[in-house]
Structure 1
Amino acid sequence: MQTELNKVVAALRDFYAQETFLFEKDVGERTITHRFAVYLERQFPGWAIDCNYDRLGERTLHLPHGTIISTDDHLGKSIYPDVVVHQREIPNNLLAVEVRKASNHTSLEHDQHKLKAMTDPDVWFAYGIGVLLVLAKRNVTMSEVYVGGVIDRPLSLWLAARLEGVGLGGGH
Structure 2
Amino acid sequence: MNEEEVRQVVSDALERVAEEDADLLEYDVNERSITHKLAVYLREEVDEEWDVDVEYNRVGEDDVSKAIPMEYLKSKISDDVDPEDLDAKTVYPDVIVHKRGEHYENLLVIETKKSGSSGEYDREKLTAYVEELEYDFGVFVTLSVGGQGEDSPYDCDWYPFEE
Task: State TM-score, norm by structure 2.
Answer: 0.75
Question: Does the C-alpha gap of structure 1 residues 77 and 98 become closer, same or farther in structure 2, counting only changes over 3 Å?
Answer: farther
Matches within 5 A, 1:56-75: 56=59, 58=62, 59-63=64-68, 67-69=72-74, 75=87
Per the alignment, residue 82 of structure 2 pairs with none
Per the alignment, residue 163 of structure 1 pairs with none
Paired positions, count: 142
Question: Does the C-alpha gap of structure 1 residues 52 and 64 become closer, same or farther in structure 2, counting only changes over 3 Å?
Answer: closer
Q: Is the 2:106–2:136 contact (alpha carbons within 8 Å) kept by the matching residues of 1?
A: yes
Q: Is the 1:119–1:130 contact (alpha carbons within 8 Å) kept by the matching residues of 2?
A: yes
Question: Does the C-alpha gap of structure 1 residues 9 and 78 become closer, same or farther in structure 2, counting only changes over 3 Å?
Answer: farther
SS at match of 1:10: helix
SS at match of 2:29: coil
Alpha-carbon RMSD:
2.6
Correspondence for 2:16 among 14, 20, 43 = 14
Any stretches of 5+ residues in structure 1 without a counterpart?
Answer: 154-172
Q: What percentage of aligned pairs have identical amino acids?
A: 34
Per the alignment, residue 130 of structure 2 pairs with 119
Between the aligned partners of 1:65 and 1:16, the Cα distance in structure 2 is: 32
Correspondence for 2:37 among 35, 48, 56 = 35
Task: State TM-score, norm by structure 1.
Answer: 0.71
Question: Does the C-alpha gap of structure 1 residues 13 and 78 become closer, same or farther in structure 2, counting only changes over 3 Å?
Answer: farther
Between the aligned partners of 2:123 and 2:32, the Cα distance in structure 1 is: 18
Question: Does the C-alpha gap of structure 1 residues 29 and 77 become closer, same or farther in structure 2, counting only changes over 3 Å?
Answer: farther
Per the alignment, residue 137 of structure 2 pairs with 129
Q: Is the 1:133–1:140 contact (alpha carbons within 8 Å) kept by the matching residues of 2?
A: no
Relative contact order higher in (CA < 8 Å, ≥ 6 apart): 2
In the alignment, does 2:58 pair up with 1:55?
yes
Matches within 5 A, 1:78-157: 79-91=91-103, 92-103=105-116, 105=117, 107-120=118-131, 123=132, 125-137=133-145, 138=149, 139-146=152-159, 150-151=160-161, 153=162
Any stretches of 5+ residues in structure 2 without a counterpart?
Answer: 76-84
